Amino acid sequence: MSAQAAGAPIDKIEVQLKGAEPTVSVLTGRATGGEDRKFVVNAATGALIRVEGYADKPFLNRLHSGEALGDGGLVGAMFWAIALFGLTISGLAIMWRMRRKDVTGWRQYFF
């Protein structure tokens, strides 16, 4: 297994002890991001059973979070989240200053 996944970071390890054949699955990623391969190993003997590709999350979820674009996408998503938070706070502050004090209820917040 180490020859097939040399230098690949481990994303997740799953242990399945129930059933006729207990297995350990090692899910590796790529150094540049994204999912790569799933190695299924017999838990009792340590023998490699199979190697398969996997996708931990659908592409649309990874695109939305920035993971599909690698580390740069994650940093961009972080800055976008901070910008949205700042816009929300500044919008609430502007709305609070614009409210009419002579009108009661919900009408004071709308024109």
% pLDDT > 90, the chain? 23
Closest CA to 25 of 33, 10, 14, 9: 14
Q: Give me the DSSP letters along 78-92.
A: HHHHHHHHHHHHHHH
User: In sequence order, what are the beta bridge partners of 48?
Assistant: 41
- Going by the DSSP 8-state scheme, the letter that residue 45 receives in this structure is T
CB hemisphere CA count around 36 (13 angstroms): 18
39 and 68 belong to one structural domain: no
CATH number at residue 13: 3.10.450
- Give residue for tokens 């009408």: 107
pLDDT of residue 106: 73
Domain that holds residue 14: 1-56
Domain-embedded: residue 106: no
pLDDT tens for each residue of 55-77: 667 788 878 877 778 888 888 88
